[in-house]
Chains A and B, each alone.
Chain A
Amino acid sequence: MDAILNNAFVQDLIILAKPALYNIYFALASIPLGFPLAVLLALAKNKPNSWLRKPAEIFIYAFRGSPLFIQFFMFYSLFLAFNQSTWKPLGIDWLVMSPLFIGPLVLVLNTSAYSAEIFYGALRAIPKGEVEAAQAVGMSKWQSFRTVTWPNMLRLAWPAYTNEVVFLFHATALIYFTMPVIDRQKDLMNKAGELFEKDYALFVHFSAAALYFLVISIAIFVLFGWINRYLNRHLSTSKPLSFKANYLR
């Protein structure tokens, strides 16, 4: 038991446990706002009314078309520019300037843009027959949305959305490269870098961080895979997201 605990890799895994929580926090803080915002944006992009559609299109284009790294820098420096004039008088500068706030905020904007594009594609792919049937039966707009549009959109978009959530989690690794490190808040990449600076044992530290990312990504895949099966439960040929090894050619 001691031999296992004394192993450098295992020690790294223990040291990196707390920083991993920061990455998980950033991801978890971004999904509850990012998901609804993405749905709204996708619905807006689908509207024929260009007053609704154009702003959604521009927002999605801007945030998908620029790197997340730059978005972090830009928002931090923008907020800082307003610090003296706006946040401090209102007394909220401790909140607004904190990476724990700016990080999720920028991630929400970014992930909602990518997810909106995914949901928009799903909206376009909803079987027209079902929509027309709902109309024929006499459902109101809201009822047909709840019965036909929403479940279908979610089901069709789910595999791609799973990928997006995993990318979101990977993106949390960038936050502390762009914002000041406050007190002892360190995330996985920061801590791994710090450990590396001390003894240059590159493979050990970075593999430990990589293992955390890999395990949590797999957990996201598995969890979202269950939800995928639930969404497709009414289809007899539901394709589970499974990794099957082809041992026989």
Chain B
Amino acid sequence: MIEMLPEWLLGWLGEDGIATLNYLSNGKHVAWYASVKYTFIAAFAGAALAVLFGLLGAAAKQSSFFILRAIGNTYTTMVRGVPDVLFLLFFPLAFEQSAEYAFAYWRCTPEEIATATSWPLCQAAQWYLGTTEYLIMACVSLGLVYGAFAANVIYGALQAVPKGQLEAAQAFGFKPWQVFWHVQVRQMWVYALPGLSNVWLLLLKATSLLSLLQIIDIVAWADRLGAPNFLPMAGLVHPDWRWKYYLALFVFYILLTLISERFFKALQARVSRGMVRAE
């Protein structure tokens, strides 16, 4: 594939350059580049779920029922006390254990349950978890944790919508949920955008933790690629190059942050068309 490059470029690169390019495009490296899909899936799906959980949490926080308010408040304050790493590790395992527990009572015979000594309680309760399952659970965990942040932001934004509009809608006979959805939520996005862009950046950086959930993502590949290799049969013999790979990831994430910030700035400009902003 390198041969397809124009002559003058090949000449400028020289032999070393071509060897480096060849190395950087071998199967193992291509697998590294391909694994960035996990980062993007986790970021986008996690963000979508975070907005969803944020809306639910904010709605709960401003509800007229004490129980819902309590749930909303507990949800949003919980993440201020517990690290996101803990949630990220805890949630998939908890989900898996609960699912296998449920499977056990559904699929195992009573004798098997009574005589079981180890986990899971019987063979039929096994749940094979592959990368896809872990990825989905990672997305949900990220959505739950950053949903709490988003709930705080959205709650503030909901409060910022002029109350007069809500009262007018009520006077027109809209039901409470209609007032909430069609009037309040519809208008709060412009107030929520700065806070939500912050939450997006936090979420994006949290996707670097996917390797803790046994997903072979860009961080795990950087470790495998950079680790020194001593055996020729296992590939190119090279010393410890990990710092180069991690530096590449460092720059990669900064670029992602740059692009995200540009995007949100443009979005903010578009959404506040016609609004008087104290700028």
Per the CB under 8 Å rule, do A and B touch in the complex?
yes
Q: Which chain A residues have a beta carbon within 8 Å of chain B's beta carbons?
A: 61-62, 64-71, 73-74, 77-78, 80-81, 163, 166, 170-171, 173-174, 177, 189, 193, 196, 200, 202-203, 206, 209-210, 213-214, 217-218, 221, 243, 246-247, 249
A249 and B240 in contact, given A70-B253, A174-B85 (Cβ under 8 angstroms):
no
Flag B177-220 by CB within 8 Å of A: 1 or 0 each. 00000000000000000000000010001111100100000010
Chain B contact surface mostly: helix
Among B93, B97, B246, contact of A77 (Cβ-Cβ < 8 Å):
B246
Interface contact A173-B253, CB-CB below 8 Å: no
Chain A contacts for B173, CB-based, 8 A: none
Q: Kindly state the separation between the CA atoms of A163 and B222 in the bound complex, as whole angstroms.
A: 32
CB of B69, distance to nearest CB on chain A (Å): 7
Question: In this assembly, does B89 line the interface, its C-beta being within 8 Å of a C-beta of chain A?
Answer: yes
Q: Kindly state the separation between the CA atoms of A163 and B119 in the bound complex, as whole angstroms.
A: 40
Question: In this assembly, does B127 line the interface, its C-beta being within 8 Å of a C-beta of chain A?
Answer: no
Chain B contacts for A206, CB-based, 8 A: 86, 89-90
Q: Which residue of B lies closest to A193 (CB)?
A: B89
Interface contact B97-A202, CB-CB below 8 Å: yes
Per the CB 8 Å criterion, the residue count for chain B at the interface is 39
A70 and B90 in contact, given A61-B254, A62-B254, A217-B81 (Cβ under 8 angstroms):
no
Interface contact B243-A78, CB-CB below 8 Å: yes
Question: In this assembly, does B13 line the interface, its C-beta being within 8 Å of a C-beta of chain A?
Answer: no
Interface contact B83-A77, CB-CB below 8 Å: no
Chain A contacts for B209, CB-based, 8 A: 67, 69, 174
Q: Which residue of A lies closest to B84 (CB)?
A: A170
Name 13 extra pairs, CB < 8 A, besides A70-B250, A163-B80, A177-B212.
A67-B206, A67-B209, A69-B205, A70-B249, A73-B242, A74-B249, A77-B242, A78-B246, A80-B240, A80-B242, A200-B119, A210-B86, A213-B86
Question: In this assembly, does B231 line the interface, its C-beta being within 8 Å of a C-beta of chain A?
Answer: no
Chain A contacts for B257, CB-based, 8 A: 61, 64-66
Chain B contacts for A213, CB-based, 8 A: 81-83, 86
Among A70, A171, A193, A249, contact of B246 (Cβ-Cβ < 8 Å):
A70
Q: Kindly state the separation between the CA atoms of A246 and B222 in the bound complex, as whole angstroms.
A: 50
Chain A contacts for B208, CB-based, 8 A: 67, 69-70
Interface contact B243-A80, CB-CB below 8 Å: yes
CB of A30, distance to nearest CB on chain B (Å): 15
Q: Kindly state the separation between the CA atoms of A209 and B85 in the bound complex, as whole angstroms.
A: 12
CB of A82, distance to nearest CB on chain B (Å): 9
Closest 3 CB pairs of A and B: A65-B257, A170-B83, A214-B81
Q: Kindly state the separation between the CA atoms of A70 and B247 in the bound complex, as whole angstroms.
A: 8
Q: Kindly state the separation between the CA atoms of A50 and B212 in the bound complex, as whole angstroms.
A: 41
Chain A contacts for B258, CB-based, 8 A: 65
Interface contact B240-A77, CB-CB below 8 Å: yes
Q: Can you give 29 A-B contacts (C-beta < 8 A)?
A: A64-B257, A67-B208, A67-B209, A67-B253, A69-B219, A70-B208, A70-B246, A70-B249, A70-B253, A77-B226, A80-B240, A80-B243, A81-B240, A81-B243, A170-B82, A171-B83, A173-B83, A177-B212, A189-B83, A189-B85, A189-B86, A200-B119, A202-B94, A203-B94, A209-B86, A210-B81, A213-B83, A217-B81, A218-B81
Q: Which residue of A lies closest to B227 (CB)?
A: A77
Q: Kindly state the separation between the CA atoms of A66 and B206 in the bound complex, as whole angstroms.
A: 10
